[in-house]
Structure 1
Amino acid sequence: MSSVAVLTQESFNEHRSGLLPEQVKSAVAGPSGAEDEDSLPTYKDAFPPLPEKPLPEGVQETGNAWTTKIKPLKSSVITQVFHVPLEERKYKDMNQFGEGDQAKVCLDIMHKTGAHLELSMAKDQGLSIMVSGKHDAVMKARKEIVSRLQTQASATVAIPKEHHRFVIGKSGEKLQELELKTATKIQIPRPEDPSNLIKISGTKEGLEKAKHEILLISAEQDKRAVERMNIEKVYHPFITGAYNKLVGEWMQETGARINVPPPSVNKTEIVITGEKEQVALAMAKIKKIYEEKKKNATTIAVEVKKSQHKYVIGPKGNTLQEILDRTGVSVEIPPLDSSSETVILRGEPDRLGQALTEVYAKANSYTVSSVSAPSWLHRFIIGKKGQNLAKITQQMPKVHIEFTEGEDKITLEGPTKDVQIVQGQIEAVVTDLVSRMDYTEISVDPKFHRHLIGKGGANINRIKEQHKVSVRIPPDNEKSNLIRIEGDPQGVQEAKKELLELASRMENERTKDMIIEQRFHRAIIGQKGEKIKEIRDKFPEVIINFPDPTQKSDIVQLRGPRTEVEKCTKFMQKMVAEMVENSFSVSVPIFKQFHKNIIGKGGANIKKIREETNTKIDLPAENSNSEMIVITGKKANCEAAKNRILAIQKELANITEVEVSIPSKLHNSLIGSKGRFVRSIMEECGELTTPT
């Protein structure tokens, strides 16, 4: 029985990012024989996972979460679970007063693709996303998840220019299929562009898949010799070698291109391309290693605590690579989601002992410790965006620091000496914070919480910034009255006082609707809002809201402290009453030829009448046929202005005034419907006055 070492998704990504270009030769080289770091086969490429139970002969291993096909729930529904490690998450910051960005994106993806998504947070702060739906919907959702929730990497792969059209396929179908299959974005140079480089962007795992598929397409079109070798996947790491050095050396030595599928691609086929002699030489080398390992490699299984597996893997997967490089023995670690504690070592019998010693040494070289710290201090120890904690972790990157919500302790894991140093540093920080920080809790009715927060968090952010405190207002679904304030003792007390005053003011707040005819709204507001500004300055604690003019509403809303609202109401009622009183109007018919005399030289006459009677007098335009002059103001003032204007007309014309006695019962008939008859007489003959 044989097996191969495998890393978890997290440690696989860490390992890839830690390789130095000069340490590794690419397993997939372009025509120039060299590629960037992203094109290097990964540790996970070299160490695919082994099932916990032996698989029947002829049954292939299952791919990872991105490629596994789950049995259909029904005839056309599938479910896939994707994991986005913490280091690859786009959105890591949590905002207390905002919804999670991840949840918003997932909701949008569901609307866009028709797939159903369920989002959960793993213990390692990675995201687990379960996607269900029809196959096409799930594939589209996966591509959206990769592009919108994971940080993106990029790589290039060089293939002959004439092979590009085969990657694109008829009407671009092949390219679309490849992008969906690998959850990547693939950019192919335009035909007129001489470049042979194809650019790929996506997750690191997706890049490897896409590059492998593109190289396979190119190999099929290569006019040179192409050979395929079916070799059990468990022997692939021995062919690539530690740090992928072996396969890189072979490609340089033979001149052939050797394409070993990454573990995320569930294939056993190794493709060799090149001149006939080059291919034959490369095949011979691969076959030799394969037969040697199949014949001589043996395995031993040991039990190592699950919590110690990460120490065997090492930072960025380095420990496993070192063991393989020094001893030629591969070490298989069960996946994170497996409960198995069995670690399998495979290699030459005389090297297994040394490898086992190294495995145990690494497993026991780390320690777990804890620091007592009140849970409310955790956020201050971590600092804004983790700045405080980063100062410690940058010096001791091998120490893992864990904060658990609600627990008054901090857990440390890492090399014993490093843990001791970090523990001392954190204890000093805790002692300092305890000596100069305080917290308090206040009770405020939840219905006022959103007002304390303010629009876009304006109120609460101002209080936090001004008093240098942290304020936790419980979300609506908790239905809790308690608001927690943490920070400098003086700042805590000042923030507490301000929040309680705001809450008290809200409890005393009143909303009142005033009925004011809409025709007066513009007059109350004034030109450029000058009049309403005066009112608001007079009653600064009262919020005055006018309805939109298009609503045709008479309701003006006042909101503020009860006593201030009452004062403002009385003030505005008085203002409206004056407007009503001053809104009386009368129309006076004056012969058109006398209008200029009514106005007077430079407007002197009309100005004098306006000022002395305190009225508004409007004359028709000069080019208008109307003779009516409209006077607006208090009734008595309007009558006075009217008499003065008529007096001017009398002086200017030979007008006779005659009083006619008509029985009062005939007055209505004389006036006519809506004054129509009396108006026609006035237009034809002049002023006609009836007793009131």
Structure 2
Amino acid sequence: MKDLDHVVEDSILINRKFHHYFVMRRDQLIREMTEVYAGMIIHFTYEGKQSIRVTMKGEKACVEAAKKHIQHIFEPLGSHVTTQYVIPQKFYTFFMGPLCSKVQQIARDFKVQLAFPDKEKPTTYIHPVIQEAEKEKWGKSTKEIVFSNQRKNKTILISGQIENCKAAMEALEYLIPFTAEVQVPSHLHPYIIGPKGSGIKKIMSEFDVHTQVSQTGSNSDIISIMGLAAKVKQAKVKLEKQINALQTEIEDRALRNFKLMFTLDAKYHSTITGHKGLFIAQICREHDVTIHFPKKANREIQDQITITGYKKNTLAAKDAIMRMLHKIEKTVSKEIPINPQVRDSIFGFGGKFIHKMNEQFHVDIRLPPKGSWNTNVSVVGLPDNVQEAIDHIFDLEKYYLSALINYDSQLESLKNTCLYKITMESPNNSVKNDGPHSAKSYPNSSNDDSEDFPKLKQQTPSKTHPWRP
């Protein structure tokens, strides 16, 4: 009963014009008060159309504190204003941000409320100071702006302290995207956009901007960048750098694809290319060019050579070829007969030693093709080099022939020695005694062998003598 003596009931009226704010914060207010002032009961009732009554019941100290708390919340609302801010419809999506994150952040930062009412029925009180500022900015009243641009614009209602509303409007103005246009040649659009739009998407995600590229087939070379001014400026700088890099690359590619064509007698092509194309490959590496020789099976001009690369490099490569041709024109070709018995010893099996000789004497040694009636070896090069190579080949031939003759004589001598040893071996050495090689010679005996062969004497007819004069 003593506790009941300390229980009191009190109430406070809240102006009806704060109904919207009250409805939004009703649950939050009840939760805050019940947590702070434990055991207190709070009721909200409507007093006609003009006010809301908040009834509090509990300990006297708690009721007094809760009453002051509510007054502290709603008294500043008497100086609250509501203004509206109009943005173009085309910027609305960018302005709001993902999941309205941008405007929600402004509402939290400046302690204001942002609402997006139905544009058909705008019934909003606008503070005269804010309305005058909007009128000076747009040249007409705010209400006129809302009604005249319903289809083109979006309206945002800002509620809060007048200072907070002004600061929130400035923040909203900062969100209005800035648009910059970049001149991009249409043939560069595919490189800027990238496969499946990867290039342009990278710029958009890196700088948080939106881009608009002209449709394929249109004559427009403009790419529009929309976003915050600072971000748009950074994106524009990067895009311009990409354009300059692409143009430089295209120009360099055109210079690198310069083609120089000249004629050269087809009979010199194989000599210029060298063994397995070594000579021409060296020229290509030294001058960073590509050299194309016509194929015999094609219908190309057989004496035309094409050099591709930078112009100065192609000219230098041509000079190198002409210098080589000048040497070739001074070359001589000589054929020398080589003994077939020592040819493989000189040039290696299949001619594998020829490349080494060519490098040593700077000549071109060619073996006759298989089955050819001409078995001579050709040596092509400068006269002095050819003569040195021929002398070297003849020296090798002489050496291998002498070695072959010595080998044959040694083989014959060895053969005779072996036969002699076999003949002179004794019968005890498992050699047959009745063989022809073991037959012994005896002195001529008389024809009368009756002592040794008595039967033969009877069988043998009488011996007749030839007629003698």
Q: Which has the larger radius of gyration?
A: 2
TM-score, normalised to structure 2's length? 0.32
The structure whose RCO (Cα within 8 Å, separation 6+) is larger is 1
